Structure 1
Amino acid sequence: MLSVDYKAGKDLKLSKLSTFPKRALSKKEAAKELDKVRRDLADFQARLYAHDKHAVLVCFQGMDTSGKDSLVREVFKDFNVRGVIQHSFKVPTSLELSHGYLWRHYMALPPKGHFGIFNRTHYENVLVTRVHPEYLMAEKLPEFNGPEDANDKFWKMRYQQINNFEKELVQNGIFLFKFFLNLSKEEQKNRLLRRLKTPEKNWKFSKEDLKERKLWDTYMQCYEEAIRHTNTDVAPWHIIPADDKPVARLIVAKILFEALSQKIGIRAPQLDDEISGKINQYIKELENE
């Protein structure tokens, strides 16, 4: 199974994982294969919508320029828009900060019958805030007096809260997928340079990108620890090599369809006996109008 090849191990070391896919494909070959898989995913979405007893939540994390936006666009482009909802979690608003940090993620969950996409996720609360613990002051946490209180005990508590959150989602009928787009530092540099050198892409660049890039090693350490602590049987992580965007999209799409195609109980509801027994009558009635 493809998913096994990319599942995070218990002793995850991102520095030991290749950021290039195991199978080399041309851009054209990858796009052709993706076209077939995403149509299969769209068919599943239609059945999921009609079945209306489960939802799918797909979570993407990765460093800036890892390709999250284009991956979402390309993998889900054949979906019926009424059945898919995307959220990208930025800096929390004052309203969001007045609640527990998971509140805004609960509020964004997909309803039954829908796909939900978290482009940046609840893991921002154990990544960005771990690299910048001073941000936690805005949450007005009880007995939290300063960044020095963001110790190992604090982070382990948050990992457990996230595990409990994800377990609850699965128990309530959500099929949960978590993908980390594993980008190399060198490829990030190339993509940032393209943003700066291509006028129509200039708007994507922020000086904060360079500031955060200087903290690359710290982020990688935080990602490793967060993934290790939240890589559960209920909600496993998949580590996707992201230096080749077209192939990364294909891998994600295949893992999704591989898992969802096993949900054989997801089907449109059957018509009741009265309607099914009169289908031919209804056809004639319409044809004879």
Structure 2
Amino acid sequence: MALKYFAVDRFTILLVLMVLLASFFPISGQWAEGFNTLTTIAIAILFFLHGAKLSREAVIQGMMHWRLHSLVFAFTFIVFPLLGLLAKPILQPMLGDALYLGFLFLCFLPSTVQSSIAFTSVAGGNVAGAVCSASFSNIIGMFITPILVSFFILGQSEHAYDPSSAIIKIVALLLVPFVLGQLLRTWIYPYMVKVPKLVKAFDQGSILMVVYGAFSSAVIAGLWQQLDAATLFYLIVACSVLLTIIMLLAFYIPKWLGFNRPDQITIFFCGSKKTLASGVPMAQILFIGQPMGMLVLPIMIFHQIQLMVCGVIAAKWAKQNLDTSDQ
């Protein structure tokens, strides 16, 4: 099951196709305005479905494990940002201002939800804890990410920036639909179970729409004149090194703190990943008028690397658990 993430999956291929489509046929003018409106509606529906999908029972059970959630929170919103900020003297000259800001924005994002839970389940971790921790990360990230962006990115610019307006927009676009989904879960979830492929298609389709719109704007602004092959290679290496460091920390620190094996697995997968699903919509709100393509490129690359690496690790741990149970 987890090995499917090691290969280049269909969603990754579609992401690349959206970048290519935007490169050759970027949408602009009134068409772009209409497309952005549709994208906003699609994102709101996406988070409504996320809310309807989440089991309240699992959340209540998982909420009791505050030590686990505190450590995942520390990795997501303290360790990741510190690594991104410490890397500035090396990465900013290497990547340029826009790509480095995208890399730093990646470090400020919440964890993933679906893949964190899926990998935790495959590897034999604490699934209830993963559901609660990943979901809490996304909810609290709607407030923390804009504050971090305001202080460390936009706060450094010449223009004054008020994070409260961005938080209000994020709450309206992401959190309100999520809460509505939770409230209506009793009626909505049975239909979601009947059409899982449709839900998945909508989930991925909304992200593809955002990526196409973002890269269309970037291409019109001259993205490919600013980004060469060497810089792209440096970005891939930077994302790989970041993931390696955070995974080593997320592997050893829970051991040193005395967490049991299932909790170690949960902390590893929830604390080492960043969300593409929430990250791209947040970027649209937080970086209005900024080079959007350059800002979301790091999270797109990191997203695929984390899926491939976590897929291999989850499969290996699942095999170890199977071998142990056979003894």
TM norm structure 2:
0.24
* Bigger Rg over Cα: 1
More helix by share: 2
More strand by share: 1
